[in-house]
């Protein structure tokens, strides 16, 4: 995959944005895509600039190397990316044991992305899928206080590290205190 500036429109269906950055080219159909339209993580995009890795767009991925359609009913093992072995067990308790053969657990060091909870989860999932070259399940959590307008949200790990246990205990009184102050 080679990336370069282009004046060609993005090949992703529905994309109307002009190129203001480098484009990624599908090795099969030769269409050019914005990095965000390519569904690559920022790390994978940077890596693509340094290597000749063959990248395929979503439409071309529907066909295997021989040109035959990929079988949508083919059973794949879903990798649950987590450092906590109990998460897979808990997930299977919810789904039911009949799904236990469809999952395996693997610990991968995932980057700490910035953005909304949804954006972070999507980027982590894409990164993990690229690392194992297959379907993945990634869990990402956050904690938001209404009194703080949803903060710290997905940054709970950083937040707890910054304020410590003593500082975090202060927040159990915050909503009541703010409500009382606002009602005066």
Q: Exposed/middle/buried for 40, CB within 10 Å: 0-12, 13-18, 19+?
A: buried
User: Are the C-beta atoms of residues 10 and 62 closer than 8 Å to each other?
Assistant: no
Put simply, whether the predicted model's pTM sits higher than 0.75 gets the answer no
How far is residue 60 from each of residues 11, 25, 56, measured CA to CA in Å? 12, 12, 6
Structural domains of the chain, ranges and CATH numbers in brackets: 1-73 (3.30.40.10), 78-138 (no CATH), 143-182 (no CATH)
Residue 182: pLDDT band (50, 70, 90) is: very low
Partner residues linked to 106 by β-bridges: 81
Residue 184: pLDDT band (50, 70, 90) is: very low
pLDDT in tens, 12-27: 777 877 776 778 888 7
């Amino acid at each position: 995959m080679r990336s370069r500036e282009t004046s060609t429109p993005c090949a992703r269906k529905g994309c109307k944005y002009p190129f203001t950055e480098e484009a990624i080219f599908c090795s099969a159909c030769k269409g050019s895509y914005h990095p965000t339209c390519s569904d690559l993580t920022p790390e994978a995009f940077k890596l693509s600039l340094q290597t000749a890795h063959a990248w395929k767009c979503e439409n071309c991925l529907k066909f295997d190397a021989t040109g035959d359609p990929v079988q949508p009913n083919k059973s794949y093992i879903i990798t649950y990316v987590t450092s906590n072995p109990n998460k897979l067990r808990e997930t299977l308790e919810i789904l039911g044991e009949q799904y236990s053969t469809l999952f395996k657990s693997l610990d991968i060091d995932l980057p700490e992305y910035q953005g909304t909870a949804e954006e972070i989860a999507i980027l982590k999932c894409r990164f993990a899928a690229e690392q194992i070259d297959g379907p993945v399940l990634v869990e990402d959590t956050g904690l938001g206080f209404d009194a703080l307008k949803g903060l710290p949200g997905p940054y709970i790990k950083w937040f707890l590290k910054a304020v410590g246990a003593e500082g975090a205990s202060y927040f159990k009184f915050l909503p009541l205190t703010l409500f009382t102050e606002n009602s005066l």
